Amino acid sequence: MEKNTKPLISVVMPIFIHKDWQLKAAIKSILNQTYKNIELIIVDGSSTSKNYNIIKCFNDSRIIYYKTKGYINCLNLGIAKSRGEYIARMDSDDISYKTRIEEQYEFLRNNKDVDMCSVQAKLFGDISCHNKITDYPTHLDFISIVTKHPIVHPAIMFRRKLNVKYMQFMPMEDCYLFRELLCNGVKIANLDRVLYSYRINSNSLMCRYSKYCSFRLLQFNIYFLGKYMNENLSFYKDFFTKKSFCYEDLCDFVKYSHILSTKFENEIDIYNMFNPYWRYIISNINDISFKYIWILFNSNMYPYIQKMIEETLSLILKFCFQLNNKYVNNKKTKFLTILGIKIPLKFIPPRNI
């Protein structure tokens, strides 16, 4: 490719701290693509010069290097500096198959109604998903994203006209982005071919902060389900930052849950999905002296109360009555535990007929 030729596809790769061989393998997998008319925009978010020393060894004019701070800033800077008609993502510890860029480009070129696509991936890393192959649906809709999130984020390619910009919701920035795009009518698809090796690490932010990620994902679902159905939340304005609530907030949230539950009756169990946020509001409500009395008199709250009672009874029964197997004198014996008292049960084995 001539130095001044405008690349058709820009590949954006944010990098931080990885093992040298992982970064080298990721870069090689892009430079060795069958589709050559590309630029590789590498945005370094690390505080050292180690990554730059690795990158300059490639001596490839298609590599463009920038440096900034913060993962989301790396993504947005890479997109802002890109020149291609199409923009692809890539993580610095993954591997793109040789034909990935070419096949995604051909798919978008032949499907004008689709603005973003990803691929199937082979999962690898240091957790139990090793060598698992994704089997995600080829065409995504809003409900599938909310309930299953069937898309590999670092393997996406999209049209420049989408004007993609990531919000500061690390490490859930992709979850917010896909919900926002689908709410705005953007069509997203998955190719049915495995074209990417996706590393899953137990040390990743998603694994280390799984509770936070689950709660943030719940907030996204509450927010975008309302946006998708054009339902206005009374606490919409401060939804992501609000830390304390009044009883009116609780009532508005429960009323909103009831509306969505009716509309998504056969697709999503809204009360089950929203239950953790109901508990969050209850635990952070201001007028605590009256909240339990008023809750009992609001019929829309009964589905949440029922789930709470069922869970409480289940815990009580589990504590009071347990049946366990234990070995006594090398013989397996069943013990029934009632209120902490263990009673050994002797069973007579059936006769052989």
**286 pLDDT tier (thresholds 50, 70, 90):** confident
Q: Which of 79-93, 115-129, 152-166, 182-196 has the lowest mean pLDDT?
A: 115-129
Q: Which of 209-223, 257-271, 287-301 has the lowest mean pLDDT?
A: 287-301
Q: Are 150 and 224 in contact (CB under 8 A)?
A: no
| 350, pLDDT greater than 50 | no
- Quote the CA–CA distance of 98 and 280 in Å, as a whole number: 47
Q: What is the DSSP string of 319-338?
A: HHEEEEEEEETTEEEEEEEE
- Quote the CA–CA distance of 106 and 218 in Å, as a whole number: 35
- Quote the CA–CA distance of 188 and 184 in Å, as a whole number: 11
**Cβ within 8 Å of residue 184, ≥6 positions away:** none
Domain boundaries, the chain: 9-207, 208-317
Helix/strand/coil for 98:
coil
Q: Are 81 and 160 in contact (CB under 8 A)?
A: no
Tell me which fold the domain 9-207 belongs to.
Spore Coat Polysaccharide Biosynthesis Protein SpsA; Chain A (3.90.550)
What is the distance between the terminal CA atoms of the chain, rounded to a whole angstrom?
A: 81
pLDDT tens-place string over residues 195-234: 999 998 777 777 777 888 999 999 999 999 988 887 666 6
- Quote the CA–CA distance of 96 and 35 in Å, as a whole number: 12
* Mean pLDDT of the 179-188 span: 95
At 40 the pLDDT is: 97
At 337 the pLDDT is: 67
Nearest alpha-carbon partner for 344 in 329, 330, 333? 333
Mean of pLDDT over the chain: 84
96: Cα separation from own chain's centroid:
20
| Token representation of residue 246 | 């009044």
**22 pLDDT tier (thresholds 50, 70, 90):** very high
C-alpha pair distances (Å), 48 with each of 52, 64, 69, 81, 219 = 8, 18, 11, 22, 35
**7 pLDDT tier (thresholds 50, 70, 90):** confident
- Quote the CA–CA distance of 54 and 104 in Å, as a whole number: 28
List, as own/partner pairs, every contact residues 64-68 make where C-beta atoms lie below 8 angstroms and the sequence separation is at least 24, other chains included: 64/39, 64/40, 66/41, 66/42, 67/43, 68/43, 68/44
Q: Are 163 and 88 in contact (CB under 8 A)?
A: no
Residue 256 sits at the vertex; the CA angle it makes with 254 and 257, to the nearest 5 degrees, is 65
| 128, pLDDT greater than 80 | no
- Quote the CA–CA distance of 182 and 177 in Å, as a whole number: 9
